[in-house]
Amino acid sequence: MNKKVCDLILTKKTQLNHDNYLLELQSKEPLSAINPGQFVNVLIKDASSTFLRRPFSVHEVIYATNSIVILVKTVGEGTYKLVEAELGDKIDVVFPLGNGFSLPKKDEKILLIGGGVGIAPMMQMGRESKEARAEVHFLLGARSAKDQILIDEFKQHGSVHLTTNDGSMGVEGFVIHHPIFSKKEGFDRIYCCGPDPMMHAVAKKAKALSIDCEVSLENMMACGFGVCLCCVTKTNEGNKCVCTDGPVFNIKDLEWQI
């Protein structure tokens, strides 16, 4: 699982909706094992305002073709430039980075919560959890029906539950408002990635229900491999780097006021 910096080839690009794209990046050399929840750090070329690399979660790993798929939401110059890349283009990537989620045990019932583009790491996590024979549930939150993407793909790895802020698809409200939390038979583990307020709310819920919970943070990063110390979050053991000690943390280790 050595880190490397190299050019991957863009072999597939799929636009999912107005602002989400799947990019499939192929390595010439075989991929070593990548954990669900790890991320890659991409150099954006030819953009005048992107000086630093841009981090993206590993959405899927296709070992058969040595490919990594990332899900990119366009929010600024870097992501707009990235999704403009054409098939065959070389993309300069540092990977794999970060720790990744801890996999569930056989027969455990787990809830994978993704909010917005925070759904990205949950595809690979869902697949590997299913392969580990856990019972996988996805809870995907979005603003509106048009922002709900990849539902069929998630269904291949588990059952899918949806919320939208405006109620246009699934349950109206935020993910924590979903009735799945009030079911009697609870979850063994919750995994969550999404906007900070959402992760806080989920963590609070998990704590109240005494469910083991991991969250994947998206702190601003300069290097992505543990040398700049810019991406820290407060933990019981002091400041830790989200890029190396994370991005995945167990909420019991974080100093969140929940």
Ligand X SMILES: Cc1cc2nc3c(=O)[nH]c(=O)nc-3n(C[C@H](O)[C@H](O)[C@H](O)COP(=O)(O)O)c2cc1C
Site for ligand FAD, rule CB under 6 A: 39, 50, 54-57, 70-73, 75-79, 117, 120, 218-221, 247
- Footprint of another protein on residues 231-250 (CB under 8 A)? 231-234, 238-239
Size of the site for ligand X (CB under 6 A): 2
Q: How far is the CB of 241 from ligand FAD (least distance, A)?
A: 11
- Looking at residue 101, the DSSP 8-state letter turns out to be P
Measured torsion, CA atoms of residues 56, 120, 2, 217, in degrees rounded to the nearest 10? 70
Q: How far is the CB of 232 from ligand FES (least distance, A)?
A: 7
Q: How far is the CB of 237 from ligand X (least distance, A)?
A: 21
220 binds another protein (CB under 8 A): yes
**SS3 track for 208-222:** HCCCEEEEECCCCCC
- Footprint of ligand FES on residues 204-243 (CB under 6 A)? 221-224, 226-231, 241, 243
Peptide bond into 121 cis (omega under 30): no
Dihedral angle sign, alpha carbons of residues 56, 226, 35, 140: negative
* Binder of another protein out of 4, 45, 105, 133 (CB under 8 A): 4
**R_g of the chain, CA atoms, integer Å:** 18
- Footprint of another protein on residues 40-79 (CB under 8 A)? 43, 48-53
9 binds ligand X (CB under 6 A): no
Residue with tokens 């167990």: 250
**Are the CB atoms for 235 and 255 separated by under 8 Å?**
yes
Q: How far is the CB of 2 from another protein (least distance, A)?
A: 5
In the numeric block, which tokens belong to residue 211? 């469910």
Element containing residue 62 per DSSP (H, E): strand 60-62
- Footprint of ligand X on residues 199-218 (CB under 6 A)? none
- Using CA atoms, how far residue 173 sits from 1, 2, 53, 151, 178, in Å, is 40, 42, 34, 18, 8
Nearer Cβ to ligand FES, position 171 or 228? 228
Q: How far is the CB of 181 from ligand FAD (least distance, A)?
A: 25
Q: Which residues of the chain form contacts with ligand X (CB under 6 A)?
A: 228, 230
